[in-house]
Amino acid sequence: MNLPFHIAKRYLFSKKKQNVVNIISLISVIGVCLGTMALVIVLSVFNGLNGLISELYGSFDPDLKIVPAKGKTFIPDSTFEKIRKMENVVFYSEVLEENALLKYGNRQRPAIVKGVDEDFTLMTGMDTMMVEGNFLLDSPKHQFTVLGYGVALDLGVGLTFVDPIKFYVPRRNAKIGHNPMSAFNVKYLYPSGYFMIQAEFDSQYVLVPLSFARNLFSYNKEVSAIELAVSDSGKIESVKENIQEILGDKFVVKNRYELHDVLFKMMQTEKTAIFFILAFILIIASFNIIGSLTMLILDKKKDIITLRSMGANEKIIKKIFLMEGWLITLSGGILGIFLGASVCLLQKKFGFIKFSELGGILDTYPVEVHFSDIFIIFTTVVLIGYMASRFPVHYITKRFLQFN
């Protein structure tokens, strides 16, 4: 039997001579519990938001994107046929992106025109992100455009209106003459629907057929990027390395996170900062453990004298109160993890806390509990509890009990 642990457990749950010791111990457990619960909930919310953004971006961004290291466009050669036929590449889409001025009625605004082929529709989940109309770009007789909701809102586009959207693009190598409009390519398309993904896309992008984009921007076979979908998400990095090796340094292959590395790094930085802020609050809450152990040592002074007379040395007695501090910390930590995880699971299932700012895509706060976060939180709580217990055990016992 572990004598220090057994005695520490009895001290934790037994009634003390001074009731204030029980109260301080309870406050210590509650403080650690609340701090731990806050850590679990907040980190899980960050995980949920990170997963949500990844999912939303996945409706527009590919698994891998090949862009030229220099310049804006390139013509795919036979090397890209090898990439198209790679075992893990299930979709291969050529895209052409350029800026253009859009005009509808009396309203106008710039936007990013993205020309896509048929594989783009199959590769992404754009058809599930439509808020009005249908995702239709090509038909046997006509071509259409699909607009981001923010672009459509600014232009005042209506699907039932008869006016087309006009696309204005400066002609390459054009000279301005007597008629300035002769320096612009002007094309027309009717809208077929609006999509809503995320403000970054909704307020900038307009999707058009690839052939229309090449005609608008005066290109023949050029593309601005190749977008790929990989069959197994676990093999994305290995496929990326293989493609980069094939293409060399003339092209850059980016995964979904690298396409928005600033955003994801910012979220990770915010998550780390919040973790340290809450951990600091947990450290402050653990000061109650110092008070609790100090009061307990003074309360159990006679017991300690009895243990010394029975042969217990300084190491055993200090270990008893160190165990006491750990039990307080572990009780609060385990209870906090359980309550925090329970709150997250209930939120995930029932969605008690609403998140109306997501504009109908998701109306509740997303949460994801990761085992790695639980492990880090538990380790942090144990370390804080150990450090909080060391001070009173080492200094208070030495001062008041006068070990020789």
Tens-place pLDDT, residues 187-203: 999 999 998 887 778 88
Of 312 and 36, more confident: 36
Q: Are residues 36 and 70 in the same domain?
A: no
Between vectors from CA 127 to CA 139 and to CA 62, what angle results, nearest 5°?
105
Tens-place pLDDT, residues 339-397: 999 999 998 888 788 765 544 556 777 889 999 999 999 999 888 888 877 777 766 66
Tens-place pLDDT, residues 91-145: 999 999 999 999 998 899 999 999 998 888 788 778 778 888 888 898 888 899 9
Tens-place pLDDT, residues 66-75: 999 988 999 9
pLDDT at 52 over 70: yes
**pLDDT for the residue numbered 404:** 47
CA-CA distance, 124 to 136, in Å (whole number)? 14
Highest mean pLDDT out of 168-172, 198-202, 214-218, 353-357? 214-218
Q: Are residues 12 and 78 in the same domain?
A: no
Burial 319-342 (b: 16+ CB within 10 A, else e): bbbbbbbbbbbbbbbebbbebbbe
Q: Are residues 210 and 119 in the same domain?
A: yes
**pLDDT for the residue numbered 243:** 92
Q: Are residues 338 and 373 in the same domain?
A: yes
Q: Are residues 15 and 151 in the same domain?
A: no
Q: Are residues 223 and 344 in the same domain?
A: no
Q: Hunting for tokens 């001062």 — which residue is that?
A: 399
**DSSP per-residue letters across 256-286:** HHHHTHHHHHHHHHHHHHHHHHHHHHHHHHT
Tokens describing residue 159: 């699907």
Q: Are residues 25 and 40 in the same domain?
A: yes
Q: Hunting for tokens 């806390």 — which residue is that?
A: 353
Of 28 and 239, more confident: 239
Total structural domains within the chain: 2
Q: Are residues 120 and 175 in the same domain?
A: yes
- For the chain, the first-to-last Cα distance in angstroms comes to 27
pLDDT at 14 over 80: no
Nearest 10 degrees: Cα torsion 297, 303, 309, 314: -20
Query: Once rounded to an integer, what is the mean pLDDT over residues 148-166?
Result: 87
Closest Cα to residue 96, out of 205, 246, 244?
205
Q: Are residues 208 and 307 in the same domain?
A: no
Q: Are residues 94 and 236 in the same domain?
A: yes
Highest mean pLDDT out of 158-172, 204-218, 375-389? 204-218
* DSSP code for 219: -
User: Given 202, 231, 259, which residue is the final one in a domain?
Assistant: 259
**Domain that includes residue 89, residue range:** 64-259
Q: Are residues 269 and 255 in the same domain?
A: no
User: Given 259, 291, 316, which residue is the final one in a domain?
Assistant: 259
Nearest 10 degrees: Cα torsion 251, 252, 254, 260: -120
User: Given 259, 283, 305, which residue is the final one in a domain?
Assistant: 259
Closest Cα to residue 230, out of 87, 82, 77?
87
Q: Hunting for tokens 């094309």 — which residue is that?
A: 187
**pLDDT for the residue numbered 3:** 62
Tokens describing residue 174: 């054009």
Residue 213's pLDDT band (cuts 50, 70, 90)? very high
Q: Are residues 49 and 70 in the same domain?
A: no
For the entire predicted model, the pTM comes to: 0.72
Beta bridge partners of 104: 107
